[in-house]
A and B are shown apart, each in its own frame.
Chain A
Amino acid sequence: MEGGTEMKIMNMVNAINNALDIKLNEDKNIIVYGQDVGVEGGVFRVTEGLQKKYGKERVFDSPLAESGIVGTAVGMAVAGLRPVVEMQFSGFVFPAFNQILSHAARMRNRSRGRYQTPILIRMPYGGGINALEHHSESMEALFGHVQGLKVVIPSTPHDAKGLLVSAIESNDTVIFMEPKRIYRAIKQEVPEEKFSIPLGKASIVSRGTDITIVAYGAMLREVQKAMVMAKAAGISVELIDLRSIYPIDRDTIANSVKKTGRIITVTESPKSFGVASEITQIVTEDAFLSLEAPPKRVTGFDTIVPLPKGEHHYMVSPDKIFYEIEKTVKF
């Protein structure tokens, strides 16, 4: 799917900005708005420079109201635009939940296909940045549970660009959750030209034989650190980057477990009723006879994410991942 060969070093902020730039240039129906996304370019500068380039009618600051932002996007989308809206932090999306669940996710079904809502809802999410309350949660499972939405989480600048292009081009509403902890922490070569990565497809980051680990977002890097320890202990890990929470790539997960017989899912969200629980059920259904150990969920607790001084208790660390890898392999 890679289009051009010209590469540029980008962090995730650059990569998302670049994808938005490409799509804004390509399709006049795309508009970008939200709180502080225009003049300031967003609190994380993801939309920096876009208003200057595409004008205040297509890239602009909206009044401060999440339900208002998503609700108007539903109307715009019905009328033929392709709005890309930003929730400043995922912790503030909840006033918009009604518009997302009751309308964005339902309009096609309600109108029997007459209207669709190609809306992209971007939101920085996740912990590990020493933030105030409501700035550290990982609530992707809530969106995964809403019928009619697609939910996407990139873990690298490269994937962020390719997935964002697909998400904007999707005719469904896509929740695009950006792991803000690694917005600027990872830099890599990303093609300058447009390319896309299909939604609903996981990627096998590294091949292994002893255990499968599924992760996404900022947790991927933590798993990779744990894998260094695992390798030293002689354990071969197959790492899967889930990339799409929904549609979820059952086959890639199940096929990997058929080979390794063991699986750990690592997330920074609460443990119960989450993506890790769903993956456990998928392997139970699709790879039951291959299992040599109980599928394990390595996640946050079913608690509120503590404020910065307590957050280390909650956040999944490479040590903890390695500890669980060893236990599962020795089961």
Chain B
Amino acid sequence: MFKEYKPIDDKLFSIIDDDGIVKNKKWMPALSDEHLQKAYKDMLFARVADLQIVNYQRQGRIYTYPPNYGQEAISGAAGSIMRDNDWLVPAFREMGAYLAKGATLKELFLYFMGYEDGSMFKNANNFLPMAVPIASQLLHATGIAYEVKLKKKDQIVYTFVGDGGTSEGDFHEAVNFAGSWNVPVIFIVQNNQYGISTPFSVQTASKNIAVKSVAYGIEGIKVDGNDYFAMYAAFENAVNHIKSGLGPVLIEAVTYRKGAHTTSDDPTKYRTKEEEQSWDKKDPLKRLKAFLISKELWSEKEEEKLIVDFKKEVDRQFVEAENYPAYPLDDVFQFMYSEMPEDLKKQKIEHEKFLKWKEVQK
């Protein structure tokens, strides 16, 4: 696959077209009907949740949130290929991968409501919290992959970044270190065309992102990120490549951020309606659904019913998160060090004295 889709040739690896028709039989992954139905449902759930969260934010029930709208196939494919013991080192626009790894929506809600507790991912293994400083997490992925190699474990590290993040030094250091160390990590760049308002054309003179793999001596591929099959096949190929000891892989997933950067952003300031509409026909759910309907594996009716159920489930978890206990003062202090330094203990005690005083004033 890597030989056929050399990044330098700027060829986009895709399997189905905009209408869900298989155009690239050679690389069509062998996936069961159940697999595809589940993958579609997971992507749909992520979309329903995502759109709902934006509503909650508009209602003032949750703080700033970065929508995933339009990018669901990338996380969906990663989510279906990641094993329980594989590592996920995320950025912040991979909800499908978060959920597949074992995070609950409630936890995500807690995080965006302002509780660190939402980063614990109690039911998930090998899953780092969201990293906010752009691209800094990629180095953690490379470091984890070093441990995997040193301890001869059967694990792959999946790590995410956006197109803007590829301009950061840490991106280059992470990919370079991974190549130099030959460690089992897959770098997934979600090229959604914008870093907040800055278009991809401003980030780099490179014709694509996958080509950056060439300089670091690893394999890379530019994939249609709105094509579930192409993403799955690329991941499968990357996993086999890594398991053969051939080194890390950089996957550029070409997609489009249909929503805003975050709920504080207004995309009408920097992109046109025409551009947005041109990507509508490439919508990842629309394409997979067209494929499934053509194989009689799905129907609009089922979808309608499912959306109603999903909305209820999203709301149920949201209300649970809204009823989460108040944030105790102890939690501000207790996770700073393995043992709390005397100085911090004193600061806490002093503040508690103030709180007692305040109580008496009432």
Known contacts A31-B150, A74-B139; decide if A108 and B176 are in contact (CB<8 Å). Answer: no
A90 beta carbon closer than 8 Å to chain B: no
Q: Is the CB of B342 within 8 A of A81?
A: no
Q: Which residue of B lies closest to A74 (CB)?
A: B140
Q: Is the CB of A108 within 8 A of B136?
A: no
Main secondary structure of the interface of B (DSSP, over half): helix
Which A residues are in CB contact (< 8 Å) with B331? 112
**Bound Cα distance A79, B127 (Å):** 10
**Bound Cα distance A265, B139 (Å):** 39
A54 beta carbon closer than 8 Å to chain B: no
Q: Which of A31, A115, A148, A248 contacts B336 (CB 8 A)?
A: A148
Q: Which of A57, A112, A246 has the most CB of B within 10 A?
A: A112
Q: Which of B120, B143, B342 contacts A111 (CB 8 A)?
A: B120
**Bound Cα distance A81, B337 (Å):** 18
B335 beta carbon closer than 8 Å to chain A: yes
Q: Which residue of B lies closest to A71 (CB)?
A: B139
Q: Is the CB of A62 within 8 A of B169?
A: no
B298 beta carbon closer than 8 Å to chain A: no
Q: Among the listed stretches A2-10, A97-105, A206-214, which one makes contact with chain B, having 4 or more residues with CB under 8 Å of it?
A: A97-105
Q: Is the CB of B139 within 8 A of A147?
A: no
Q: Which of A72, A83, A200 contacts B139 (CB 8 A)?
A: A72
Q: Is the CB of B139 within 8 A of A171?
A: no
**Residues 112-152 of B at the A interface (beta carbon under 8 Å):** 116-117, 119-121, 128-129, 131-133, 136, 138-148, 150
Q: Which residue of B lies closest to A200 (CB)?
A: B341
Main secondary structure of the interface of A (DSSP, over half): mixed
Which B residues are in CB contact (< 8 Å) with A330? none
Q: Which of B129, B180, B338 contacts A171 (CB 8 A)?
A: B338
B170 beta carbon closer than 8 Å to chain A: yes
Which A residues are in CB contact (< 8 Å) with B177? 62-63, 65, 68, 72
**Bound Cα distance A67, B172 (Å):** 11
Q: Is the CB of A75 within 8 A of B335?
A: no
Which A residues are in CB contact (< 8 Å) with B147? 75-76, 79-81
Q: How far is the CB of A100 from chain B (nearest CB, A)?
A: 11
Which B residues are in CB contact (< 8 Å) with A65? 169, 173, 176-177
Q: Which residue of A lies closest to B122 (CB)?
A: A114
Which B residues are in CB contact (< 8 Å) with A99? 136, 139, 170
A130 beta carbon closer than 8 Å to chain B: no
**Residues 84-127 of A at the B interface (beta carbon under 8 Å):** 95, 98-99, 102-103, 107-116
Q: Which residue of A lies closest to B178 (CB)?
A: A72
Which A residues are in CB contact (< 8 Å) with B173? 63, 65, 67-68, 71
* Chain B interface residue count, Cβ-Cβ cutoff 8 angstroms: 41
Q: How far is the CB of A30 from chain B (nearest CB, A)?
A: 11
Q: Is the CB of A112 within 8 A of B141?
A: no
Which B residues are in CB contact (< 8 Å) with A73? 143
**Residues 218-243 of A at the B interface (beta carbon under 8 Å):** none
**Residues 134-188 of B at the A interface (beta carbon under 8 Å):** 136, 138-148, 150, 169-170, 173-174, 176-177, 180
Which A residues are in CB contact (< 8 Å) with B180? 62-63
Q: Is the CB of A71 within 8 A of B140?
A: yes
**Bound Cα distance A62, B142 (Å):** 13
**Bound Cα distance A79, B335 (Å):** 18
Chain A residues with CB under 8 Å of chain B are 31, 57-58, 62-63, 65, 67-68, 70-81, 83, 95, 98-99, 102-103, 107-116, 147-148, 150, 170-172, 200, 246-248, 250-251
Ordered by A's residue number, 30 sampled pairs between the chains whose C-beta atoms are within 8 Å are A31-B150, A63-B176, A68-B139, A70-B139, A71-B138, A71-B139, A71-B142, A71-B173, A72-B174, A74-B139, A75-B142, A75-B143, A75-B145, A76-B143, A79-B144, A80-B147, A81-B150, A98-B136, A108-B335, A108-B337, A108-B338, A110-B116, A111-B120, A112-B119, A112-B331, A113-B334, A114-B121, A116-B338, A147-B336, A172-B338
Known contacts A81-B147, A111-B120; 19 additional CB pairs below 8 A are: A68-B142, A68-B177, A71-B136, A71-B173, A71-B174, A75-B89, A75-B139, A76-B146, A76-B147, A78-B144, A79-B147, A81-B146, A98-B136, A102-B136, A109-B336, A112-B119, A246-B341, A247-B341, A247-B343
